[in-house]
Homo-oligomer: A and B are copies of this chain.
Amino acid sequence: MRFDLNILGCSGAVPAYGRFPTMQLLNVQERLYMIDCGEGAQIRFSDFNVKWGKLSHIFISHHHGDHVLGLPGLLSSMGLNHRTAPLLVFGPPKVGQFLEQACAFTKHLSFPVHFHEVDPALHKVVFENKALEVYTLPLRHSVPATGYLFREKERPRSMRGEQIERYNIPYTAIPDIKAGADFLSPDHGNVPNEVLTLPPPRSRSFAFCSDTAYEESLLSYIYGVDLLYHESTFLQKHHGQALETGHSTVQEAAMMARNADVRTLVLGHYSTRYPVLDRVLQEAIPIFPNTILGSDGLIVPLMLNP
């Protein structure tokens, strides 16, 4: 029951110091959901031994090059690897235009690519399957940009094995009990559901917020998530540049984590001004102690019952 974030690239606009542009993978029960697709995505897939076949959905925040330029190469190489399964790409309208050009240029793809346009001004569910719901998060950047919130669906309660025997429960009754029903026993009368089942593990959640300035309205959408990735392009001494470019400082990212009462914060999208990142962590920790410095290759596993 994995729910792991894998950061493939943590650089800001210009890659440097071994840091690739923004791209992340969320592994939910061995299916991969990609978030942003910076240049060199297929190279990072190779570097970190990512299984291409497990990827079927890509969520793009906005159309800036450092978040989309890995798409053409990734698609093309999936084609050369004889992929046939469809690929679904989510993003604001201009991402669709970019994707269309990329697909037109990379002719004869061996698999279908579908684009699902999202409205970056709204907070709404844009995807769901048995395991997961994905919501958009309206960000505030120099161009329309959306974050994404990944939330596990609540699982059914699980049967307590010893009670099946004790109350002589037929297997045909189990699905209803798992769904919350009591059991009417010939010998014991009504047995309440809480006696027969265990509560499901907590649903895990991950919010991706990049690129964005500090945006107060995000707080209610991401309140209490297990893991928050929030961009932190600039140190405090460059907060003027953050304002100008629609990015956040490290302190703002940490404030967002604190104010939204999240469990863990992961930083990233570092400016090329900072070859070494110790100062980044030093500015975050006093505001939000449970902060992780994002790095290329980092894996953050979220436990079922932490």
| A13 to B81 alpha-carbon distance, docked (Å) | 11
Point out the residue from B17, B18, B42 that lies within 8 Å of A39, measured CB to CB: B42
Q: Is the CB of A17 within 8 A of B46?
A: yes
**Which of the 9-residue segments A69-77, A159-167, A281-289 touches chain B?**
A69-77
Q: Is the CB of B20 within 8 A of A43?
A: yes
Q: Is the CB of B40 within 8 A of A43?
A: yes
Select from chain B the residue with minimum beta-carbon distance to A74. B39
Q: Is the CB of A77 within 8 A of B13?
A: yes
Residues of B within 8 A of A16 (CB): 46
Per the CB 8 Å criterion, the residue count for chain A at the interface is 29
Any B CB within 8 A of the CB of A171:
no
A9-42: CB near B (< 8 Å → 1, else 0) gives: 0000111111011000000000000000001101
Point out the residue from B14, B18, B101 that lies within 8 Å of A81, measured CB to CB: B14
Residues of B within 8 A of A69 (CB): 39, 69, 72-73
Residues of B within 8 A of A65 (CB): 72-73, 76, 105-106
Any B CB within 8 A of the CB of A47:
yes
Point out the residue from B17, B39, B72, B77 that lies within 8 Å of A14, measured CB to CB: B77
| A32 to B91 alpha-carbon distance, docked (Å) | 38
Residues of B within 8 A of A21 (CB): 73
Any B CB within 8 A of the CB of A80:
yes
Any B CB within 8 A of the CB of A221:
no
A80-B46 contact in complex given A73-B65, A101-B101, C-beta closer than 8 Å: no
Any B CB within 8 A of the CB of A115:
no
Residues of B within 8 A of A105 (CB): 63, 65, 98, 101
Select from chain B the residue with minimum beta-carbon distance to A68. B105
Task: Determine how close the nearest CB of chain B comes to the CB of A53; give it in whole angstroms.
Answer: 15
Point out the residue from B13, B14, B43, B63 that lies within 8 Å of A15, measured CB to CB: B43
Point out the residue from B40, B66, B80 that lies within 8 Å of A13, measured CB to CB: B80
Select from chain B the residue with minimum beta-carbon distance to A41. B39
Question: Which residues on A are within 8 Å of B, measured CB to CB?
Answer: 13-18, 20-21, 39-40, 42-43, 46-47, 63, 65-66, 69-70, 72-73, 76-77, 80-81, 98, 101, 105-106
- Which 8 residue pairs of A and B lie closest in terms of their CB atoms, listed nearest first? A39-B73, A40-B40, A14-B77, A16-B46, A65-B76, A15-B43, A69-B73, A101-B101
- Chain A to chain B contacts (Cβ below 8 Å), 25 pairs: A13-B76, A13-B77, A13-B80, A14-B77, A14-B80, A14-B81, A15-B42, A15-B43, A15-B77, A16-B46, A17-B46, A20-B43, A21-B73, A39-B40, A39-B69, A39-B72, A39-B73, A40-B43, A63-B105, A65-B72, A65-B73, A65-B105, A66-B73, A69-B73, A101-B101
